[in-house]
Amino acid sequence: MINIKEDERLSVLNHSCAHLLAQAVKHLYPEAKFWVGPVISEGFYYDIDLGDYKITDEDIPKIEHEMKKIAKDGKRIVRHEISKSEALEMFKDDPYKIDLIERMDEDETVISCYTQGDFTDLCRGPHVETVKELKHFKLLKFSGAYFKGDSNNKMLQRIYGVCFETEEDLNAYLKELEEAQERDHRKIGKNLGIFTSHDLVGKGMPLWLPNGAIIRKELENYIYAKEQKLGYKHVYTPCVGTVDLYKTSGHWDHYKENMFPSMKVDEEEFVLRPMNCPHHMLVYANELHSYRDLPIRIGEFATDFRYEASGAVKGLERVRCMCQNDAHLFVRPDQIGEEFKKVVELILDVYHDFGIKNYKFRLSLRDSEDKEKYFDDDKMWNDAEAKLREVLNDLGIPYYEAIGEAAFYGPKLDVEVKPAVGPEVTLSTCQLDFLLPRRFELSYIDSEGKSQIPVVLHRAIFGTFDRFTAFILEETKGALPLWLSPVQVNIIPVNNNYHLEYCEKIKDSLENYRVELDKREEKLSYKMRESVIRKIPVTLIIGQKEVDDNTVSYRMYGSEETKTVSLSDFQKLLEDKIKNKN
């Protein structure tokens, strides 16, 4: 998918188109006041205050029509430069523009405006020469958007659109948007019987169907093996904890709003756990540790519950009940770099196995101005942030820094991916934590017999199994690699009367695989069609030829070619595919 914002020409075009949109809106709704109209990776938008009037579906074609009309007139787009005081005078009736102008630097003496026909907007530019160039655009959607992105502020109305240089480019882009919908894990998940939901269970509470459960189990087995090899110790702990547990950890103060409300049982007050750190702290505290024992790596496939805002819930991607591929690494301060590096390497290893290529590393740091949100210890933060940067630089991994995205207890490295529909989400995460070990009074005995406080790394490679499955379904368009596929081999006999016995024999010989034998009294082509629709990786066609020659004929998903081989060669082929994860 093309990123408009990263293309210089398209950026100018789309930004100019945002002005065209504003002009058209001004023509149709003279009372309209305008906030900002930036270019984004998907095109452009403009935030507009229409008073009490709400944009409807019928307005969009009208606005588009007006935009075309203005574009046809072909007015030039002219730049003026004015001083701050002139600007304040010029836009004196427009509180939004005044807001923008007042925030501009006093020294920045030149403020620019762009005029096209009867419409002038404050803008840094640049723009295209004339509105005539804005021919191939489309308004895509509209919604409410908080003024300055703050939910305490008034909601403005935002209209999104996109503009291209040619009609072909525009159509190609719109087609891509449509195709993205086909790739949406919610659609695939429904079609392939991966997951469902029910009002009686509740919002954001997915039910994993048998096919989804197989995928999840394979993911669990895969990451469990990796983690065991790396010296992780896996545990099981309860999905609830007492309120006091979360008061001890500090989450009660910082995270209560995102937790399900507490429930009283006898004299104890419980919450459904939103994360597993406190439980794992207590696993660590169960015995006395020597500096020689560290690092200690506690892993768990742990079900957590979070009170996600109702508008945020989405398929398997954002849920209220999820299973984390969680682990907490208890390390000595001198081991931070090495352990953090191992986690990053594990992430890279796993992404390689899944063929995931489009992801970004985000180093999430605190906003040092915000003493409310973050644990207050400047030295701790500075040391931790420096450590993470150092490792990333040593590994030569490209990343970007995000101020104010850290957890309250420490900085973190997140891996972000882009779903088929909607904004980027975090998949993997690795978080450094100097705080929780202190709150739980964790310790180890150093070489001089003194008690020391360990450092904790929180990490989740898949993030949650839910979100990772959603992502993998979109990456593969539901055509999962053999090792993950709920049904791996589908056997279709040409004639049930003559070939079934041989098919049963083949099925028995593939006992290590998930095999289906389609015995239904249906036409071969009918069964083949269904096998393809279900995206089963391998379909076997078994008829008289195969029975006579003691062979199998197979067709791989995505190919129309049929190959015939001996059963042992076929088994070898499956083994190789599983081994190579393709």
| Number of residues forming the site for RNA (CB under 7 A) | 77
The least CB distance from residue 521 to RNA, in Å, is 4
Among 13, 215, 275, 346, binds RNA (CB under 7 A): 275
The least CB distance from residue 323 to RNA, in Å, is 13
Per CB under 7 A, does 261 bind RNA?
Answer: no
Per CB under 7 A, does 146 bind RNA?
Answer: yes
Per CB under 7 A, does 184 bind RNA?
Answer: yes
Nearest-angstrom CA–CA distance, 166 and 168: 5
Residues in the chain: 582
Q: Is 408 helix (H, G, I), strand (E, B) or coil?
A: coil
The least CB distance from residue 425 to RNA, in Å, is 6
Per CB under 7 A, does 409 bind RNA?
Answer: yes
Q: Considering only 212-220, 288-296, 303-311, 444-452, which stretch makes contact with RNA by CB under 7 A?
A: 303-311
Active-site residue flag, 412: yes
Tell me which DSSP letter residue 257 carries: G
HEC readout, 311-376: HHCECCCECCEEEEEEEEEEECHHHHHHHHHHHHHHHHHHHHHHCCCCCEEEEEECCCCCCCCCCC
User: Most distant CA pair in the chain: distance in Å?
Assistant: 93
Q: Considering only 26-34, 49-57, 76-84, 99-107, which stretch makes contact with RNA by CB under 7 A?
A: 49-57
Per CB under 7 A, does 54 bind RNA?
Answer: yes
Q: Considering only 60-68, 301-309, 354-362, 378-386, which stretch makes contact with RNA by CB under 7 A?
A: 301-309
Q: Which of 306, 318, 342, 362 is catalytic?
A: 306
Q: Considering only 14-22, 224-232, 418-426, 469-477, which stretch makes contact with RNA by CB under 7 A?
A: 418-426
Query: 97, 55 in Cβ contact below 8 A?
Result: no
Which residues have C-beta within 8 Å of that of residue 544, sequence separation ≥ 6? 494, 495, 498, 499
Give me the DSSP letters along 149-178: G-TTSPEEEEEEEEEESSHHHHHHHHHHHH
Closer to RNA by Cβ: residue 407 or 487 = 407
Q: Which of residues 472-531 bind RNA (CB under 7 A)?
A: 494-497, 521-526, 528-529
Q: Which of residues 198-217 bind RNA (CB under 7 A)?
A: 199, 202-204
Per CB under 7 A, does 454 bind RNA?
Answer: no
Query: 149, 156 in Cβ contact below 8 A?
Result: no
Per CB under 7 A, does 300 bind RNA?
Answer: no
Nearest-angstrom CA–CA distance, 445 and 4: 56
The least CB distance from residue 550 to RNA, in Å, is 13
HEC readout, 485-503: CCCCEEEEECCHHHHHHHH
Closer to RNA by Cβ: residue 77 or 506 = 506
Q: Which of 123, 163, 277, 323 is catalytic?
A: 277
Per CB under 7 A, does 412 bind RNA?
Answer: yes
Active-site residue flag, 452: no
Active-site residue flag, 328: yes
Q: How many CA atoms lie within 13 A of 201 on its CB side?
A: 11
Active-site residue flag, 306: yes
Binding mask of the shown chain, residues 154 to 173, with x at each position contacting RNA by CB under 7 A: -x-xx-x-------------
Nearest-angstrom CA–CA distance, 134 and 128: 9
Closer to RNA by Cβ: residue 12 or 60 = 60
Among 342, 366, 534, 555, binds RNA (CB under 7 A): 555
Active-site residue flag, 352: no
Among 425, 432, 456, 482, binds RNA (CB under 7 A): 425
Which residues have C-beta within 8 Å of that of residue 189, sequence separation ≥ 6? 195, 196, 212, 315, 316, 470, 473
Question: Strand pairing partners for 407?
Answer: 410
Q: Which of 458, 459, 467, 535 is catalytic?
A: 458
Closer to RNA by Cβ: residue 22 or 259 = 259
Per CB under 7 A, does 1 bind RNA?
Answer: no
Q: Which of residues 306-365 bind RNA (CB under 7 A)?
A: 306, 308-315, 318
Burial (CB count <10 Å: 0-12, 13-18, 19+), residue 83 = exposed
Closer to RNA by Cβ: residue 115 or 551 = 551
At residue 421's C-alpha, the angle toward residues 417 and 422, to 5°, is: 70
Q: How many CA atoms lie within 13 A of 526 on its CB side?
A: 6
Active-site residue flag, 438: no
Task: Name which of 92, 4, 14 is nearest 46 in CA terms.
Answer: 14
Among 130, 258, 303, 571, binds RNA (CB under 7 A): 258
Q: Considering only 28-36, 87-95, 337-345, 555-563, which stretch makes contact with RNA by CB under 7 A?
A: 555-563
Active-site residue flag, 163: no
Token look-up 């701050």 returns: 84
Nearest-angstrom CA–CA distance, 282 and 238: 12
Among 19, 251, 362, 418, binds RNA (CB under 7 A): 251
Per CB under 7 A, does 278 bind RNA?
Answer: no
Q: Which of residues 94-113 bind RNA (CB under 7 A)?
A: none
Per CB under 7 A, does 422 bind RNA?
Answer: yes
At residue 480's C-alpha, the angle toward residues 474 and 481, to 5°, is: 135
Query: 300, 329 in Cβ contact below 8 A?
Result: no
- Residue 172: CB atoms within 10 Å: 12
Q: Which of 297, 320, 328, 418 is catalytic?
A: 328
Q: Considering only 9-17, 23-31, 250-258, 381-389, which stretch makes contact with RNA by CB under 7 A?
A: 250-258
Q: Considering only 73-81, 165-173, 355-363, 425-433, which stretch makes contact with RNA by CB under 7 A?
A: 425-433
Give the residue numbers annotated as catalytic, written as ranges: 277, 306, 324, 326, 328, 412, 458
